[in-house]
């Protein structure tokens, strides 16, 4: 089974630990990545992490990601809600993707309820904090296992 999963974080996710803990918890991004790495290994998945605050860099990463990954978890932060460029770059990647948000975006402000990437994703996991990444990895694993049959 193909087992390489890229975990891509977008704008302001490097500020985890300094953002509202009520929405985002208290882990820093590197602490979150340690946990997500552990969740992935428990499922036999090989994770690789990326974060940027630059939209074009996020798009370039999506252009290249199929060279090193078989599936994607992506949390583009606020870009989720309006970046058609990221939506198009995700389509270029051609990879199965799960949209992840730490907070419950569908229960927050009106503008956060819009996701321009959702239609391209296998599923969206939101409002479960770091545990949501475990669920998202489970969904990616299920998809890769089915594809291998
Ligand atoms: C977020 C939700 C977005 O609305 C917000 O802009 C973020 C983080 C989340 O993980 O809950 O930066 O994607």
Distances, alpha carbon 97 to alpha carbons 23, 53, 122, in Å: 23, 20, 6
Count of structural domains, the chain: 1
Give helix 84-93 / helix 55-64 axis angle, nearest 10°: 10
Mean pLDDT across the stretch 141-146?
97
pLDDT in tens, 83-99: 999 999 999 999 999 99
25: left (phi over 0), alpha (psi -120 to 50) or beta: left
Q: Which residues pair with 71 in a beta bridge?
A: 5
pLDDT the model gives residue 1:
85
Its pTM surpasses 0.95: yes
Ligand 1 site: residues with CB under 6 angstroms? 12, 75, 77-78, 80, 101-103, 105, 112
Domain housing 94: 4-148
Choosing from 9, 23, 63, 101, which is the catalytic residue?
101
């Amino acid at each position: 089974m193909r087992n390489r999963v890229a975990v891509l974080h977008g704008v302001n996710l490097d500020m985890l630990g300094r953002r509202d803990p009520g929405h985002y918890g208290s882990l820093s991004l590197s602490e979150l990545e340690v946990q997500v790495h552990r969740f992935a290994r428990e499922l036999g998945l090989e994770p690789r992490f990326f974060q940027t605050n630059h939209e074009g860099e996020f798009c370039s990463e999506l252009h290249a990601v199929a060279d090193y990954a078989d599936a994607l978890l992506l949390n583009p932060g606020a870009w989720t809600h309006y970046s058609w460029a990221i939506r198009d770059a995700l389509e270029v990647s051609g990879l199965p993707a799960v949209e992840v948000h730490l907070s419950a975006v569908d229960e927050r402000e009106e503008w956060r309820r819009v996701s321009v990437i959702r239609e391209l994703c296998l599923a969206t996991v939101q409002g479960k904090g770091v545990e949501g990444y475990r669920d998202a990895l489970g969904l990616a694993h299920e998809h890769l296992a089915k594809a291998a049959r």
